Structure 1
Amino acid sequence: MDEDCSRTSMKFNTDQKLDMGKAEIEKKEGLALLIYDLKQRKLIPIKILSLIVFSGYGVLFPYAAIHMKSLGISVEETGAIYSVNAVLSVLIPICSGMIADKLGNFKMLLSVLFGCTSITSLIFLLVPVGRISIANPTNMSMTLGCFNDNSTLTLTDLDLHPCKFKLNEDSEIGENVSATIGECGSVCYRSDKSDTEATLETASSFVSDTNLDHSIGKEYLDAVFFPNDWDLEMSCLQNLSGRSNCQLGRKSGAVSRKGKNATLALKLFQSDYNIKRMIPVLWMALEDESEFHHKSSDFQIQCSTYDEKLNLLQTVYSQDNQTENNPITHYRTCRSQCVVQINRSDLCSDIVREEVINPQLTFWMYLLLRSVFEVFVVGSATLFDGAALVLVNEVRGDFGFQKMFGFIGFAIFSPISGALMDHFSTNENDTNFRPAFFLFAGLFGIAAVGMLTIDLNFKPPAEKLMKNVISLLKNVELDVLLAVCVASGFLVGCTGNYLFLFLEEIGGTRSLMGLSVTISCLTAIPLLLLSDTIFRKFSVPNVLVFCLFTFVIRLIGYSYITNPNLCLVYEAIEAINGALSLTSFMIYANQLGTTSTATSIQGLISTTYFGLGVGIGSSVGGVLIGAFGQRVVFRILAVIAFLTGFFYFLFNILYLRLKANDKNNTIVDKAESNRKVEEIQ
C-alpha cells in the first residue's frame, strides 16, 4: 500500500522546476497556479486519464498479496515474485524511454500498452490454485471415559484431523481446557486385526451388536456412538493426607441438550496419542460441583464403579471379500463413554489445514504472467508520465495537479473494490477477487480508448540517464541521500506489500483494507500541497528525519494491534513516511543537481527507491515474515527505521550544517573583501 500511494507522488511539486527559465511558472504559486492550471483545456484529458488510470491501480494493486495467498502462493514465493518485479521496474523505464525517443509521437504505443494491460489482468483469473487452506471445525469431538478396566480417565480423539498440541513448559503438569460433556452411551471403535488376535481379545462373553440401535448411531472417525439414557457423575472424598479420592460413575437420566460444562487437566506429553489418539486426564472439575477444583497432586480418579453396571459390547464379524489363505477379521469394542466438545483453538495450533494440489505450476504460471503484466504496467506508466509532463510544460501548468486527480481516483475506487469483493464472497475464507480484476480491466480499457483522443504531436527530448550518473555520484551529500532512499524503500517494500496479509490475519475485511488506502491517500493530498512551505520552514533533511521517526511509531503500533480498525489511525501516518518522504527525496535531489541533470536525478531516485529499496524489501520481507511472523518483522523494521533516522540526523548535524556554515562564512568573507577593495578604490 505504501508503494502504491508513494509511486503516485513521484515528481510531485518538482517537475515544474525542469524548465526554470519560464518566468510565468515562478510568478504563479499556490492557489493562483491551481486556478491557472484548471483553466487549461489542453490538460483536461490528462486529468481525466490520471483519474481513470490511478483508479485502476487502486482497485487491484493493494490486494495483490492477498490474491497470491488465495492461490496458495507462500509468503516466501511472494517475496521471490516481488524480486523479479523489482528487476523489471529498473529495466523497463529505461527501455521504454529509449523506445519513446525513437518514436516521438507514442500515442498509439501507449494506447496499445493500456489495452494489453487490461487483457492481461483478466488472464490472472485462469491461474489455478496451488494450495487450499481449509479451516478445521471450531470444536473437536472427543469421548471421555475410563480406558478398559484400569483407573485411567482418558479423552479419545474422534476428529478427522489429528491435533497438533500447543505445548508449553507446564504441559507435563497439566494443560487446563474447558469442555462441554454431551450425551453418554456406547462408543464402538473399529480396527482391523487378525483372526487370532480377535479370538484372544474376545474370549470373554460378549453381546451381539444386534443389541445396539443402529438407527440412532452417529458416525465418527473409526467409531460409532450409540446414545443411552445415562449421565456422568463424580463423587469425591478427602483422606487424612488431604488427597481427594474421586470415583467416576453413571446416573440415570440423559444429559440436557446444552450439555454439562467441565474443566479438564490434560497430560499432553503422551507418546501413544499418535497411534491411539488418546490423552490422559489428570483431573476433572464439573461446573456445578465447584468444590472439586483440585490440583493434580491432590486428586485421583477411581474408575472401579464406572463399568460395574454395564457389560462391554464386543462384536467380531468377517469381511465379505476375505481370502481363504488370509482371512481378515474386523473387531469392534464398545465402551461406556460420553461425547465431549472442546474448542480446537484451546488445545491445538493447527486451526487450518493445507491441501496441496500443484504449487509449482501455480507459482511459475503466476510469475510468468506477472512479469508480462509488469512490463505493460510499468511501461505504460513511464510513457504516460512522460506525455503528461510534456503537455504540462507546453502550457506552463503544474504536473503535481494532474497527479492530484490520480490520488482522488485511487482513494475513491480502492474501497469500492474491497466492498465489492466482500459482497460477492461466499465467506471470509473464500474471497472472490473477480470484481477487482473486472474493474481494473474495464478502467484500463477506457484509458486505452481515451488515450487516442489526446494530441501528442511532439518530439520529446531524449533522456540519457546513464550519461550523468557518474558525475552525480561524486557528491557525498547525494550518496548519503541515496543510501537513506534505499533504506526507506526497503521499509516500504517490507510493510506495504504484506500489510493486507496481516490485516486479514487479525480479521480485517476487504472493505476496511480499501478504506485504509483512502485514508492514506486523502491525508497525503494536503501534505503535498503544503510540502513547499514545509520544506522552506524546516529544511528537507529535517523533514526526512521526521518521516523516518514517524515510521518507527507506525511500525511499533502495527506490531501490537489486535483490532484491525486501528489500522486507519496508522494509515493516516503513512502519508508522512510514504508520499511526503518520497517527495522530499525528489526535491532534495533536485536541489543537489542542475537543470541539465534534473531528469537524470529523477530517474536515479526512482530506480533507487523502487528498484533497489522496494524490490529488496519485498523479497527480504517475505523471507523474514515466513521465519519470524509479521509482528516480529514490524519490530525489526522499526529498529532499522530508527537507526537510519538517527544516523541521518547525525550526518545532518555533523556534516550538512558545518558545510552550510562554511559556505556562509565564505560568502561573508568574499563580501568583506569586496567591501575593502571598494574602500581602497
Structure 2
Amino acid sequence: MLKMNRYFKLFFHRIANDLKQKELLPLKLLFFMHSSTILVLYPYLTIHMRELGINVEETAIMSAVTPAVAILMPPLAGMVADKIGNFRVLLSAFSIVGGGSALLLLLVPVGRLTVTFPEKLIFGLRCESDPVLSLHQEFPCKPINSDHILDIELQLETCGVACQSSLTKDQSRSLLVAPSYEIQVLEVDTNDITTYTFKTAVSNETMSNITVFLRNRKILKNLEQYPSVIRKLSKHTYFFPADHLYTFFCNGSNCSVGKMSEHPEQQGLSNTFRSGVFLKLLERKDFEENLQLYKMEYIGSSSDLICTDPDNEIITVNASVNMDGVNTSLNLEPCARTCLVTGSRKRLCQNAKTTIELDTSLTFWSYLSIRVFVGIISGTSFAMFEGAVIAILREHKADYGLQRIYATIGGMISSPISGWMIDYASKGKSYTDFRPIFFLYAGLKFISGILMLFINLRFKKAAVSVISDVLTVLRKLEMIALLMSCVVLGCAWGFIESFLFWLLDDLGASKSLMGLTVTVGGLVGIPLLVLSGPIVKRLGHANVIFIGFIFYAIRLMGYSLLYNPWLCLVFEAMESITFGLSFTAAVTYAAKLSTVTTDTSIQGMLGGLYYGVGKGIGSLVGGYLIHPIGIRHTFQLFSGTTLVIGMVYFGFYHVYMKKHPSQGTDITKKDSTHSPKMEKKAVDETTDFHLDPPVVYEDAMCNPAYETTEVEDEPTETISANEDSKVNSH
C-alpha cells in the first residue's frame, strides 16, 4: 500500500512539475491539436474507401503505396530542417497545405455500385405432370446446393394466366403498365367463350419506385401488388393475375391450378406452406428464356405429387396499350394457368447482392494520387514536428512521455466526436456521410499551422554536415536493430489501422463505437505516459519495445476472435502499451542514440519506417491475405509473426547488443561547445552507459525531465554496491 501511494505521488508530482515549465505550454497545445487532427480523419479512411466501392485488394495497395511513396519525404525533410535550424515557417506551411489537400478526396467518384437483390424470390407455379417452380433470372440466383432437396417456406400470392409472346421492347414496356386487360377462355368441348376483364394498379411512377438509388448502392425491390400487376416471368412470358378466378389446389398428392367455381367443396392451399424443391436440368428453351426451374418434391406432408392442367380450353389475353400516344391492342397466346408464389432468397441463393463496376480506374488512381500527395505532406509535417519536439525537449530538459499525454487526450476527444459526426450526418440517409470529418480535419490543420508559427526554435543551430552525421548514427548496431523493430511494429500497427474498422464494420459496429476505441486506449494510456520515464529507466528501452511486441500479438489474436464489436474495447485498451508506451520508448531510444544536429533526420527516418514502410507492408500483405484465408485468420497470422519476431529481437538484444552497447547522447543535452579534453571525458563517460551509475545527469538519458527526488527516494533500488564504488571512483 505504501509503495502504491508512492507511485500515486510520483504520478501527480511529475505532472505538476512538468506544468511549471511555461515555455512547454505551446508544445502541449500543439501535441493536442496534432493528434486531434490525425485521429479525426485517418482511422475512417479505410471505410471511406469502402464507401466509394474500392475493394479490399485495392485498399491494401493504397494503404501500402501511400506510405511507401511518402517514405522518401520525412528523412529528406528532416535533413532540410536540420540544415535550416529554425524551420517553424516551413512546418506551418506543410500543415496548412496538408489540411486543404485532404478535401480533394471528397471529389473522388464512386467506382463500384453494389446492387442488393430483393429479399424474396418470385416464382411462377405451373403444372408439367408435377408442380414446377420457374424463376426468372432477372436478378440472378446462384443456387446454394444443386444436389439436394431444399426445404423452403412458400407464400401463395395470387393466380392467373401466363402467356408467351415475342414483343418489342416498346411493346413490352407499354404492356407492363397497361391499365386493363381481358382474359378470354374458349371451352373446346362446347365452343363457349368467357371473357373476364381486370384492371391493374400500376403506373410508370410505381415502376420507378422498385429501385432505390443511393450514392454507392442500388437496392432492388419487388413490385408487391401481386393481384393487380402485369409482370414478366421470363424473357418472353407475361403473367396476368386473375384473382378470385384461379387458385392452387392439392387433394393429397393430386394438385392443379383450377377455377374456384369448379371446386366449391375444396379450399385452396393455405397461403403459406412448406415445400421441398429440387433444381431441375434445363432444356435449351429454358436457357433462351433465362429461367431456372425447381421441381416440387413434396408439399407439407404430401409427396409424389401429380399436377395436371385441363387440355380442353384455350386461353388468350387482350390488352389495350398506349404507344407513343396511340392506343393499340395486343393479343397474347398461348396462355396457361399459373400461380405466383414467393420464397426467401437466402434459402435458395448464395448471392444476396452483386457489384457493378463503373469507372474503377478513375476512382482508384484519383484516390491514390490524392492520398499519396496528402501522405507526403503529412509525413513531412510529422517528421519536422517530431524533430521540433525533440529539439525543444533537449533545450528544456523535458519529458517526451509527459508531452504525449496531451496528444492522447486530443485523440480521446476528437475520434469519438468525429464518429458521432459521421453517424449524425448519415442519419436519414442510406449511405455514410463522411463530409463533416474532412472539413473538421482541414480546419484543425489550419489552426495547427497557425500555432506552429509561435513555437520557439531559434536556439536550434543549423547542421554543418547533415548526411555524414546521419550516416555516423546509422552505423550503430542498436540503431539498426531499433529501426528494424519499428518496421515490424509498424506492420502490426498498419494492419490494425487499415482493417480493424473494416472488421468492425462487418460486425455492424456504429461509427461512434469506432471513435470510442481511441478514447478507451487513451484513458488507459495516460498513466503509462506519465510514468513512461521511470518505466523505461527501470526496464530499459529494448525491453519496453519487446513488451510492445507481446501486446501487439495479444491484440491481433483477440480481434480475430471477436463477434461482439463492443468487446474490441478490451483489446483497444492495450494500445496504451503497443503504441503509447513502446513508441515513446522507440522515440526516446532513437534520440538517445542520435545527436543534437541529427535529431530531426533520425526522427523522420524512425517515423517513416514505422508509419511508412511498416504500415505499407502490413496493409499490403494483410489486404491480399484477407481474400484467400479470411480476415480472422489474417489477424491470427499477424499475431504469430509479431510474437516470433519480437522474441528474436529480445534474444538478440540480451545476447549481443546489451554486451556491446553503442555510444549515445542524452536527449536533454544541449548543443554546447566543449574543449577537446571535455569531449574526451564525455566519450569516456558514455562508452558504457548501460553500466554507468544512475546519477542525476546520466539518468536523464533514459528519463527526460528527471528529478533528483526520484533517486533520493529509492537509493538502494537504483544504485548497486558495485555501481556505488564506480561513483566514488569518479
Query: Normalising by structure 2, what TM-score?
Result: 0.71
CA deviation string 1:195-254 (max 9, x = no partner): xxxxxxx99979999735142531434533414225434344xxxxxxxx5645658499
State how 1:341-356 maps to structure 2 within 5 Å.
341-356=342-357
**What corresponds to 1:111 in structure 2?**
92
Deviation of residue 418 (structure 1)?
1.3
Q: Is the Cα–Cα contact under 8 Å of residues 36 and 397 in structure 1 kept in the other structure?
A: no
What is the CA–CA distance in structure 2 between the aligned matches of 1:34 and 1:625, rounded to whole Å?
44
Indicate which of 148, 156, 168 corresponds to 2:134. 156
What is the CA–CA distance in structure 2 between the aligned matches of 1:548 and 1:534, rounded to whole Å?
16
What is the CA–CA distance in structure 2 between the aligned matches of 1:209 and 1:389, rounded to whole Å?
95
**What corresponds to 1:505 in structure 2?**
506
Indicate which of 215, 231, 239 corresponds to 1:220. 231
Q: Decide whether aligned partners of structure 1 residues 281 and 477 sit closer, same or farther in structure 2, where only a CA change above 3 A counts.
A: farther
Deviation of residue 657 (structure 1)?
8.3
**What corresponds to 1:67 in structure 2?**
48
Q: Decide whether aligned partners of structure 1 residues 470 and 445 sit closer, same or farther in structure 2, where only a CA change above 3 A counts.
A: closer
Indicate which of 32, 35, 46 corresponds to 1:54. 35
**What corresponds to 1:638 in structure 2?**
639
**1:133 partnered with 2:135:** no
**1:402 partnered with 2:403:** yes
Report the 3-state secondary structure (helix = DSSP H, G, I; strand = E; otherwise coil) of the residue aligned with 2:151: strand
What is the CA–CA distance in structure 2 between the aligned matches of 1:369 and 1:498, rounded to whole Å?
20
Letter in 1 for 2:338: Q
Letter in 2 for 1:302: I
**What corresponds to 1:18 in structure 2?**
none
Letter in 2 for 1:165: P
**What corresponds to 1:616 in structure 2?**
617
What is the CA–CA distance in structure 2 between the aligned matches of 1:330 and 1:359, rounded to whole Å?
45
- What is the total number of aligned residue pairs between the two structures? 599
Report the 3-state secondary structure (helix = DSSP H, G, I; strand = E; otherwise coil) of the residue aligned with 1:164: coil
Report the 3-state secondary structure (helix = DSSP H, G, I; strand = E; otherwise coil) of the residue aligned with 2:432: coil
Deviation of residue 130 (structure 1)?
1.8
Q: Which moved more, 1:272-281 or 1:58-67?
A: 272-281
State how 1:249-398 maps to structure 2 within 5 Å.
252=260, 259-267=271-279, 275=288, 276-286=290-300, 291-292=301-302, 299-304=303-308, 307-308=309-310, 311=313, 313-315=315-317, 333-398=334-399
**1:182 partnered with 2:193:** no
What is the CA–CA distance in structure 1 between the aligned matches of 2:457 and 2:543, rounded to whole Å?
40
What is the CA–CA distance in structure 2 between the aligned matches of 1:60 and 1:341, rounded to whole Å?
45
Q: Decide whether aligned partners of structure 1 residues 330 and 616 sit closer, same or farther in structure 2, where only a CA change above 3 A counts.
A: farther
What is the CA–CA distance in structure 1 between the aligned matches of 2:153 and 2:111, rounded to whole Å?
37
Q: Which moved more, 1:274-283 or 1:418-427?
A: 274-283
Report the 3-state secondary structure (helix = DSSP H, G, I; strand = E; otherwise coil) of the residue aligned with 1:48: helix
**1:211 partnered with 2:211:** no
Taking only the aligned residue pairs, the percentage that are identical comes to 32
Indicate which of 143, 160, 164 corresponds to 1:165. 143
Q: Decide whether aligned partners of structure 1 residues 249 and 361 sit closer, same or farther in structure 2, where only a CA change above 3 A counts.
A: closer
**What corresponds to 1:3 in structure 2?**
none
Q: Decide whether aligned partners of structure 1 residues 478 and 409 sit closer, same or farther in structure 2, where only a CA change above 3 A counts.
A: closer
State how 1:563-642 maps to structure 2 within 5 Å.
563-586=564-587, 602-642=603-643
Q: Which moved more, 1:69-78 or 1:535-544?
A: 535-544
Q: Which moved more, 1:249-258 or 1:561-570?
A: 249-258
Letter in 1 for 2:39: G
What is the CA–CA distance in structure 1 between the aligned matches of 2:39 and 2:464, rounded to whole Å?
29
What is the CA–CA distance in structure 2 between the aligned matches of 1:56 and 1:256, rounded to whole Å?
67
What is the CA–CA distance in structure 2 between the aligned matches of 1:382 and 1:611, rounded to whole Å?
11
What is the CA–CA distance in structure 2 between the aligned matches of 1:452 and 1:422, rounded to whole Å?
35
Indicate which of 239, 243, 248 corresponds to 1:232. 248
Q: Decide whether aligned partners of structure 1 residues 177 and 649 sit closer, same or farther in structure 2, where only a CA change above 3 A counts.
A: farther
Q: Is the Cα–Cα contact under 8 Å of residues 383 and 607 in structure 2 kept in the other structure?
A: no
What is the CA–CA distance in structure 2 between the aligned matches of 1:354 and 1:164, rounded to whole Å?
14
Report the 3-state secondary structure (helix = DSSP H, G, I; strand = E; otherwise coil) of the residue aligned with 1:498: helix
What is the CA–CA distance in structure 1 between the aligned matches of 2:11 and 2:534, rounded to whole Å?
10
What is the CA–CA distance in structure 1 between the aligned matches of 2:657 and 2:565, rounded to whole Å?
41
Letter in 2 for 1:215: T
What is the CA–CA distance in structure 1 between the aligned matches of 2:525 and 2:464, rounded to whole Å?
29
Q: Decide whether aligned partners of structure 1 residues 99 and 593 sit closer, same or farther in structure 2, where only a CA change above 3 A counts.
A: closer
CA deviation string 1:93-123 (max 9, x = no partner): 1222233245443333233222222221222
Q: Is the Cα–Cα contact under 8 Å of residues 192 and 331 in structure 1 kept in the other structure?
A: no
Greater RCO structure (CA 8 Å; 6+ sep): 1
Letter in 1 for 2:31: S
Q: Is the Cα–Cα contact under 8 Å of residues 529 and 581 in structure 2 kept in the other structure?
A: yes
Q: Decide whether aligned partners of structure 1 residues 655 and 381 sit closer, same or farther in structure 2, where only a CA change above 3 A counts.
A: closer
Query: Normalising by structure 1, what TM-score?
Result: 0.76
Deviation of residue 433 (structure 1)?
0.8
Report the 3-state secondary structure (helix = DSSP H, G, I; strand = E; otherwise coil) of the residue aligned with 2:444: helix
**1:99 partnered with 2:84:** no
Deviation of residue 431 (structure 1)?
0.7
Q: Which moved more, 1:447-456 or 1:607-616?
A: 447-456
What is the CA–CA distance in structure 2 between the aligned matches of 1:444 and 1:595, rounded to whole Å?
28
Structure 1, unaligned stretches of length 5 or more? 1-27, 194-201, 237-244, 293-298, 322-328, 676-681
Q: Decide whether aligned partners of structure 1 residues 383 and 235 sit closer, same or farther in structure 2, where only a CA change above 3 A counts.
A: same
Q: Decide whether aligned partners of structure 1 residues 552 and 48 sit closer, same or farther in structure 2, where only a CA change above 3 A counts.
A: closer
Q: Is the Cα–Cα contact under 8 Å of residues 209 and 313 in structure 1 kept in the other structure?
A: no
**What corresponds to 2:210 in structure 1?**
none
Q: Is the Cα–Cα contact under 8 Å of residues 316 and 332 in structure 1 kept in the other structure?
A: no
What is the CA–CA distance in structure 1 between the aligned matches of 2:68 and 2:291, rounded to whole Å?
51
**What corresponds to 1:415 in structure 2?**
416
**What corresponds to 2:707 in structure 1?**
none
